[in-house]
Chain A
Amino acid sequence: QVQLQQWGAGLLKPSETLSLTCAVYGGSFSGYYWSWVRQPPGKGLEWIGEINHRGVTNYIPSLKSRVTISLDTSKNQFSLSLSSVTAADTAVYFCARRNSGSYWGDSYYYMDAWGRGTTVTVSS
């Protein structure tokens, strides 16, 4: 069964760059999209972006100018970089695997494996 283990700095100052990494254990790295999702304190889930094993990325438009998701296929790892952070970027950040399937030609997508989350606080 696939497991995702994530890590990264938990306390940042405004204008610094957030960097998180997620390692994939026990499953194939190819054939999926690998996602980052965040959750501000007391709020709902917000998708940040995703990358597949070929390096194709999708990002939420509101963060696109500051976000980079990259991967290291040799290590089965993918990473999130978010530049110029502010207090509004304070959140728990989750990595997740996006899986897909189809039913009578209709595609469906779902996140079937998640990391435990990393709390990132931005404060001066």
Chain B
Amino acid sequence: SSELTQDPAVSVALGQTVRITCQGDSLRSYYASWYQQKPGQAPVLVIYGKNYRPSGIPDRFSGSNSGNTASLTITGAQAGDEADYYCKSRDGSRVVFGGGTKLTVL
């Protein structure tokens, strides 16, 4: 299957740690990448590859991969981290996005 499954919504208390997961068979073959999207804006890459952060992304964002599951962890969540998060992978020549997780920071 080429689908990637994410929890629709997750909440975290300000300053606490939250993990957002992504499951799919394609993750056994390809690393996931993760994108943050705020309302009315284009997605922004936050994690890619084994656990790489683009320049400008805070080090409280980290990624991990195990079997068919990829995870995005935010350590010490900030109010500005409230957003939709999407995982992305490949299935052969196709690109697949997860359905997205809406993160609420309480």
Which A residues are within 8 Å of any B CB, using their own CB?
35, 37, 44-47, 50, 58, 60-61, 94, 98, 101, 103, 106-112, 114-117
Contact A94 B97 (CB under 8 A): no
Contact flag A44-B98 (CB < 8 Å), given A110-B33, A111-B45: yes
- Most chain A CB inside 10 Å of its own CB: which residue of B42, B44, B88, B90: B42
B24 at the A interface (CB under 8 A): no
Which B residues are within 8 Å of any A CB, using their own CB?
30-31, 33, 35, 37, 42-45, 48-50, 54, 84, 86, 88, 90, 93-100
Give A110 to B100 CA distance when docked, in angstroms.
16
User: CB within 8 A of A35: which of B37, B44, B93, B95?
Assistant: B95
Across-interface contacts of B45 in A (CB, < 8 A):
110-112
Distance of A56 from chain B, by nearest CB (Å): 10
Across-interface contacts of B99 in A (CB, < 8 A):
44
Give A46 to B98 CA distance when docked, in angstroms.
9
* Given A45-B35, A47-B96, 12 new contacts (CB under 8 A): A45-B37, A47-B97, A58-B93, A58-B94, A58-B95, A94-B42, A108-B30, A108-B49, A109-B95, A110-B48, A112-B48, A114-B43
Give A1 to B44 CA distance when docked, in angstroms.
15
- Classify the interface of chain A: helix, strand, loop or mixed: strand
Contact flag A44-B33 (CB < 8 Å), given A94-B42, A109-B90: no
Distance of A68 from chain B, by nearest CB (Å): 17
User: CB within 8 A of B42: which of A106, A109, A116?
Assistant: A116
Nearest-CB residue, chain B, relative to A57 = B93
Across-interface contacts of A58 in B (CB, < 8 A):
93-95
Across-interface contacts of B84 in A (CB, < 8 A):
44
Across-interface contacts of A117 in B (CB, < 8 A):
42
> 6 A-B Cβ contacts within 8 A?
A35-B95, A45-B97, A60-B94, A107-B30, A109-B95, A115-B42
Contact flag A103-B95 (CB < 8 Å), given A108-B33, A114-B43, A115-B42: no
